[in-house]
A and B are shown apart, each in its own frame.
Chain A
Amino acid sequence: MNVLDLNHVRRIFADDKKNKVIALKDISFSVDKGEYVAIMGESGAGKTTLLNIIATLDKATSGSITLDNFDLNKLPEKQTAKFRREHLGFVFQNFNLLDTFNNRDNIFLPLVLAKTSYPEMEQRLRPLAEQLDIKSLLERYPHEISGGQKQRVAAVRALITKPDLVLADEPTGALDSHNTENLLQLFERVNAQGQTILMVTHSAAAASHSKRTLFIKDGQIYHEIFKGDHSRAEYLKKIMTSLAALSSKEV
């Protein structure tokens, strides 16, 4: 069953008729339930635009996009926020934790917005906090903990709503290698339990934890690699080769 389906999605930014920027030319792909997909590409390839459209923060100019059987193009503006908190979980490069909330309340934020009762929130938090090892951090504030810890808190915030799809935007961008490895293993574990993940990243190492990697160039899907039965090292090698090809001029 497909969680996400994109068909000939096109996004054009136009200030006026003369100044047109084609951010996404023609994108089609789908993500199965329980998949873990990485999207790679250089700066300006259209990754952010793609992510924004999937996140309902932006709308495609043409083409169709369905998420969990909702046609995102037909989703009224007023319902996008509700849709986001019910169907999507976000992990950002800069964590985007709020300094005025302690970590527990940061995690509760999407649930509070969805008017969940307090006992239910606590109940949902307990197993996740255990699993992601943040129990001791809950009463502290984001500015009192390290980057790696912050990203774990942010991951719990993304997962606590039991989203259909977790969108991760360069989740390891602000982390050191040790914390990067920890977070990626955590994503793998969560994915193994059935969580669908879509991750945008610059890092081949990060992508090598996924089950499938898509390469974007000039607003189009350029290439696609499956992990399949390959070992992580082989998969990583293939990603590196594709990246080298992607950045060479003659393509």
Chain B
Amino acid sequence: MAKKSLNIVESAYRAVIEEQDDTILWLVAAMQAAGGNHSVVLRGNAVNYALAGQGAPALTVGEWQQTQAPKMDRDVADLADNRNVAVYVVEEDLGERGIAVDQLVPNVRLVSRRALPQLFAEHEVICHW
């Protein structure tokens, strides 16, 4: 039986162009596919991952061109919509960054900072990435 695990993701856009994904959201998806039972909290700058309509243009270096540029809103939606991963977004961190709730991809859930202890209590493992 997989342990119910909460993954707090705060570092954002670190190496996402190189890796063509966020390495922690990717890891969560891979672990979920391996039988895990994961939830995600996006906090700090990572709340921006839930903003709909983002995506860097493909990187080009000389004649080399990237063909699979990352789209973090797509990957967040994929976790919530297709992989049975609850994705929470810290609402105060959204507000501090000027992001409105109606700008987010569907199916993410808001959580306040003061509610984090309760969310922690509902999980067996807390991974603060």
Q: Do A and B come from one complex?
A: no
